[in-house]
Each structure stands twice: as C-alpha cells, then as structure tokens.
Chain A
Amino acid sequence: AQSVTQPDIHITVSEGASLELRCNYSYGATPYLFWYVQSPGQGLQLLLKYFSGDTLVQGIKGFEAEFKRSQSSFNLRKPSVHWSDAAEYFCAVGLEYGNKLVFGAGTILRVKS
C-alpha cells in the first residue's frame, strides 16, 4: 500500500537558518509528489509538486524540493527561513492523477528569533 513517512514531528530553526524537512514515500510507480503547508485557520496550500523531469522543483515562498528515486525521498528545503514560515508541513503522494492524496503525518515547524 502507498504510504508517506515524515520522520520529524517537530523541527525548530532560527530565523535566517536553512531548513530541510524530510519525506519518504512508498509507491510502486513514479508518483506524483506534493508538499503542502497548513496554517491555523487556513486550508492546505500547495507549495510545490513533482511529476517528472527535473528532479529539483521550485515552489512558492522560496521553497524547493528534490526527488530522489533511489532513496524514495522528496525532501523540502529553504535556504533562509522567515518567522512567517512557522506552520505545519505535509508531504503527500498523489494517486489517480492527483485525485487521491495520501499524506504523511506532518512536520510542525517552529521558527525562533
């Protein structure tokens, strides 16, 4: 069965520091991969997605992610974190042309000043 693992439940980084959030997936074929951000009171917002092609994808708000097939990973990175980035981040695998999403457990990012 398809699954997504986000091994870090909480991460705290200093403002201005770099960030990497880990995501591993289990899926037989080449997956559609997504990163979403959830802020309190707001719906999930798509940060970036990967289907095929260049394995380094750029997203909104300065985020990027790299697809590594050999490691079944799709880690999210940002070179310099801002206080407004504090939120919960979800990695997801899309099935059925993106219609069905299997989410990881999420990583809560805290940013300290």
Chain B
Amino acid sequence: GAVVSQHPSWVICKSGTSVKIECRSLDFQATTMFWYRQFPKQSLMLMATSNEGSKATYEQGVEKDKFLINHASLTLSTLTVTSAHPEDSSFYICSAPRTGEPYNEQFFGPGTRLTVL
C-alpha cells in the first residue's frame, strides 16, 4: 500500500509560538491532502483540504488564520498552528488519496501529537 509520513510525531511548545507539521506522500503523488484533528476519546474531524498549487479549503468553524496550510509540491503538505494555545493541543492526522476507481482510497499518516504548555 501507499505510505504517508508525518513529522514530527510529537511536539511540545510554549503558548504563543507557532508549530509546523509536515505530511508527505512517500511513494505516490497527491494533488490533494486532508488534515484531521482528533481529541482524546473522540473521532477524527476534518479540518481542511489541502490543494497543491492553490488555497486550502477549510471546514466550517476552522480558523484559517490559525491553521495555515501550504501544499507546495505533489508530495508535501504542511500545517502550521500559529500562536498556539493550550486548547490547540490535539492529535493532528493527515491523509492523502491515491486516485483509483471507483473511489480514491485515503492513506493516513501516523499522526502528530501537539501539546501546548
């Protein structure tokens, strides 16, 4: 199967700082990637769709100025949590679809645990 990596796997930062999380598709190209957020004991919630070469599309209620997404190449999307606060502490997961019929199968990264002190 296809492989998606995330870096870092965990990060601890101080309140007010910014944190960048990388999502890479290692063996296939992805013009679209997805960012999810998962709170403890809760499900994955789609935050945004990252589009290579164009602006990301954010789900309702997600602050685009807080969660900056850049899809600079066909294998890399980055999520930057700006001016992080403790309430941003969460597990962030990315996925990348590999084009297929009749649907595009999603491949998930292992996730990044963010703790904001």
Contact = CB atoms under 8 A, between A and B. Distances in A.
Interface in B70-117: 93, 95, 97, 102-111
Nearest to A45: B108
Nearest to A4: B43
A32 B103 contact: yes
Interface residues of A, number: 23
A101 interface: yes
B106 A101 contact: yes
Contacts of B43: 90, 103-106
Contacts, number: 58
Contact of A101 (B4, B9, B46, B102): B46
A70 B59 CA distance: 31
A41 B105 contact: no
Contacts of B34: 99-101
Contact of B44 (A41, A42, A49, A103): A103
Contacts of B95: 44, 101
Contacts of B44: 44, 90, 101, 103
Interface in A23-81: 32, 36, 41-46, 49, 51
The 3 closest A-B CB pairs, nearest first, are A98-B103, A43-B108, A44-B108
6 contacts: A44-B44, A46-B105, A99-B34, A100-B49, A102-B46, A103-B43
Interface of A: 9, 32, 36, 41-46, 49, 51, 90, 94, 97-106
Given A94-B103, A97-B104, A99-B104, 15 more contacts: A32-B103, A36-B108, A42-B110, A43-B4, A43-B93, A43-B110, A44-B108, A46-B106, A49-B105, A99-B32, A99-B97, A100-B46, A101-B106, A102-B46, A104-B43
